[in-house]
Structures are given as structure tokens and as C-alpha cells.
Amino acid sequence: MTSDGAQRPTPDGTPTDGTPTDRAHTAPGTSPLPGLPAPPPPGASALPPGTFDGTVALVTGGGSGLGRAIAAEFARLGADLVIASRNEERLTAARAELSELGGRVATAVCDIRDPDRVAAAFDAAESAYGLPGVLVNNAAANFPVPAEEMSPNAWRAVLDATLTGTFFMTREFARRHLAAGSPGSVISVGASYAWTGGPGFAHSAAAKAGVKSLVETLAVEWGPYGIQVNGLVPGLMPHEDLPRDIRDGLGPDHTLATRQPALRVGAPRELGWAATFLASPYARFITGHTLVVDGANWQRRSLVNPAVVPVREQLGRA
């Protein structure tokens, strides 16, 4: 429990008081519909215990949110963790929480936009536990803005953190494995608007489309050397670290589930389970693929499209 009396979330970012993340909700005034079943409870694993014994997993953005949730599932399955972020305070807090799961956890303060600091993070990981066998590219930047108001700095900030940083991390991982002659697994977190476009998020949508293309390109280039490269796209998975401007744009909590085909939102641990599967020995023939974990929400269409509301109006800029 936190100092203000609230329940402390689990290491995967899920509240422990039974609130929205796990519950199915039905639309007011309709007959109850089951939606997709709730996931197993925190602490459950889809893979055998010890699946990642002897494996080092490096997770960028691992100090908070979905990155911490992904790291938690690798830790439950025996991996040694290296979590990287620009925020040392978050890393320290996450390390304490993740260590409670029983594994070893190291931290690396890293700006993934700087290739020298990326190399230093890999050096630190190797010094701590050995060459990471799994890389999870989770770090990114994002904020809503109408495209015509986007400054050059805003564009560069998101592209550099989301696309360029992902490339620098992945390149460094591959260089070291190619030199060592060892296999490895890369998982890059994407977004469904890599396929559809993302009005209000032109910078992020362009960057995530680039990430998806990198997944498909590098899987072919590095497959002969035993390096898998896959993508992982989360759906709506509320967590305590979601940026306020994005969280406010989602609308009232009680409507989130009814706007999903699953009639519930996702739990961060569900993304962690998908990540551990993709990096596991049971997914060795899966590469160049982007797995979407969103309850089919990105494929939702109405029989009759709703009225168009310009992005400026949706963001209160009319």
C-alpha cells in the first residue's frame, strides 16, 4: 500500500484492488455479454518454470509501465534482467520491485538515441550477467498534437526515441551476437497505427511504421545467423505510468471496456506473456512477425461510420 493509502500495483503495473484492468464491463442498458474471459491472476505464467534460466533479458523503458510488466514476466521465468531508461529514479524503484520476483536485476541509465550510450549499456549488461540473449525495445516517446502544429523538434523527438533508438539498440544487439556467433531474440514494441495511420499522432505513427518495417527487414537479414526479430503491439492496457495527456484522451474509465470488442481492457501482464512466448524456445520458427495483443480492437469497424470529428476538435484546439 502506498503512503496515501492506495493499493500498490503489482510489478506488472496491474492494480491489486480488482479495478478496471481485469474486469469485463457491459454496456449500460444492454443484456449482459460475456466478452473475452479475464486473464489468469498476476504471478501466473504461460511457460514452464525456468524457461529463461541462464538468459539475460535487456528491456528498454523497463523502469515503468508496460516495459516493467514485460520485464516482470521474464523474471518470473528465470531470466536475469537488465532494465534501461533515462530515468534513474524509476529504474531504482523498478529494480526493487522486480527483485522481489526472485531473479537478479541490474540497471543501465541510457539514452537510446545516442549510439555511444547504447554501446555503454550493452557493456554494462555484459559486465553484470553476460551478453543479453533477449532484447525488448520498449522505450519510445509520444504525445498528441495536430500535424500542422507539430514543431521540427517535436517530430525529431518522437522519431529519434521511437525509431532511431530502436534501430541503435537492435543494431548493437546484432553486432555482438554476430561477433559471438550466438543466436538471439529481439522484440520491438509497436503500435496498430503502423498499419492504419494515427491522426493526432503523425510522428508516432510514422515512427512505429518504421519499427514494423525494421522487424520485417532485419528478420530476413539476420535469420541465417540465428537472430529472430519480432514485433509486439499492445492494445488498451491502462497502467499507472500512462502519460496524463494520453490518459485524459481515452475518456471516462467506465466506458473503456465497452468500447472494446473484448468488453474489457487488457492487463499489462498479458503483453508480458506474449513477449516471453515470442522469445522462448517454443517460438523459434516465428520471426519477422508482429503480434497484436489488443482483443481485436484495431480491427473494429462500424456498419455505419460515425460522424467525422476533426483532430483539432478532439484535442480541444478548434
Point out the residues that are catalytic: 193
Contact indicator for 204, 193 with CB cutoff of 8 Å: yes
Query: Can you give the three-state secondary structure of the chain, one letter per residue?
Result: CCCCCCCCCCCCCCCCCCCCCCCECCCCCCCCCCCCCCCCCCCCCCCCCCCCCCCEEEEECCCCHHHHHHHHHHHHCCCEEEEEECCHHHHHHHHHHHHCCCCCEEEEECCCCCHHHHHHHHHHHHHHCCCCCEEEECCCCCCCCCHHHCCHHHHHHHHHHHHHHHHHHHHHHHHHHHHHCCCEEEEEECCCHHHHCCCCCHHHHHHHHHHHHHHHHHHHHHHHHCEEEEEEEECCCCCCCCCHHHHHCCCCHHHHHHHCCCCECCCHHHHHHHHHHHHCHHHCCCCCCEEEECCCHHHCCCCCCCCCCCHHHHCCCC
